[in-house]
Structure 1
């Protein structure tokens, strides 16, 4: 036989309570109903937050303390965080420097050969920004650690052809690939010092599949010579 368990009367939300006939709050000039400790909800919450209900001050009339000005000279905006206003605080969060000027305030392009176009992003105009950070030059520098001139010099030094299969053009739809020693940099990116050669697609995949291990490559070559004998 199962015993019934009673959990007492159901919980009633504060807003659903019948407050008719309830005494008024003990606060000065406060006609709100007293709900907790003789205080209305406003004075009670004030006491919980600050430790002092300030019964002599009606609810909703306490002025919040005025925030001090931003600690950056010549900035009179109210402080938001770490003593800075919202703008300087965001600059610190993003760039690590609250005094960093926005892009619009930096004039001119910093291209090495000289450029009088207006600044767009990362110290360059729109054209040079696309060249450095969105095109082939950016990929070579970011992924392989070499420049466009470095790629061209390496390609010309190997006779402008794949040094493995001796093709002048990559087969099919493949392109030229920068091959680096995966024993130095195991991922897809290179430090730039371990770049070996410019290979066609199939040769790059084949050497990478064998881990750039000369012994494995030699055994594979001996196996093919034996099969063709």
Structure 2
């Protein structure tokens, strides 16, 4: 088998005495020895950058910077530049610890214009403290008087917040009802809402609703089943009421289309004349046919006379 005529190439000859690789270079560049891919170095050519090159002897970041025409700056260090510190960089080539130490040692660029104040200026040439005094009192050098109202708890010298108590004692009184309760004492959460006894609409007996504001019946035996109240999409009952009383809404007196089904707003639904929450039963005399939207809009409000 013939081999490529190029010195040092042992590939099989395909066309013009060259292998496929050299023949492709000849077609692209006119010379079988031209167009060979150069060997990339181990790191980027930019000084101080140790990233792996991807094209033109540059790393990905510097390659795209060159295409945009940006200057090829060295890559920022990823670890702290302080000796024997391997923490990640937070700012200015330093980790967070060394960065905060350096900032603490640097003097502020602008000093507060108030005499004998060495704080840095933030607004209007004042530091934050003097600026807030100017906003509240109209004078940055105003010194607010000390409060003479102290906490009424014996041994406490803190300033009062409300009811003659400081912040800590007022919070204890507000949450536990005792400003002197210990922080380590066991907390017993008291019920917030206590409702008076009610009369069951079914059996007429008095019962304790506890902390529930919606409990109406004394137990499950007195509570209606809600078989019809919760079955507004029960087609069997809708058709039974529609065939018996006519397909007319008993609230708005409008016609009900028998072809509409739940949950269409104008479909037929079963409504209790006396709401279940007021003691209404599932008897046939307490049921009527209404639009679904009319039934939802009425809720558990009493039915008007003649409706």
TM-score above 0.5, yes or no = no
| Higher share of residues assigned helix | 1
Structure number with greater CO (CA < 8 Å, separation at least 6) is: 1
**Bigger CA radius of gyration:** 2
TM-score, normalised relative to structure 1: 0.30
TM-score, normalised relative to structure 2: 0.24
